[in-house]
Amino acid sequence: KRIQFTPDLLPMDLIGTYIFDDRNKDFIFKPGPLFGNIILADEINRASPKVQSALLECMAENQITVGEKTYQLDQFFFVIATQNPIEFEGTYPLPAAQLDRFFMKFDFGYVSEDKELEIYNDYLQINKIP
């Protein structure tokens, strides 16, 4: 599942929430997108630290606690995250506790202007664009 992280995202948008069921006169749990197998946390550092911390338990313990109830996640669960450079406006640094839960980090950087033109020209040629 892909989750687009934004500044207005709330922890319950990730983990889920209890909703009142009028028919049964009881609260039922509606799981959030973290109840998947492979989670793509897109632009993770655009969300507030409070929202980012919602990932800590599921990444470390393979479970999510909502209220007083703990839900086990699938055995095959992992998070892939993208982030914007920290210099961009509206980004928050990832806390050390969260960084520790990622297995690896790739920094792709940006290609040179010459390489960018080469990629562009290759694209035009491959797609037969005049």
- The boundaries of the domain holding residue 80 are 2-126
Number of independent structural domains in the chain: 1
CA dist 98 and 34 (Å) reads 15
Contacts within 8 Å (CB) and 24+ apart, 25-34? 29/66, 29/69, 29/71, 31/71, 33/1, 33/3, 34/3, 34/58, 34/64, 34/73
pLDDT tens string, the chain, 130 residues long: the values are 999 999 999 999 999 999 999 999 999 999 999 999 999 999 999 999 889 888 999 999 999 999 899 999 999 999 999 988 777 778 888 888 888 888 888 888 888 999 999 999 999 999 988 7
Residue-level pLDDT at 89:
79
pTM to 2 decimal places: 0.76
Q: What CATH number does residue 90 fall under?
A: 3.40.50.300
Q: Would you say 9 and 15 are in contact if contact means Cβ atoms under 8 Å apart? A: no
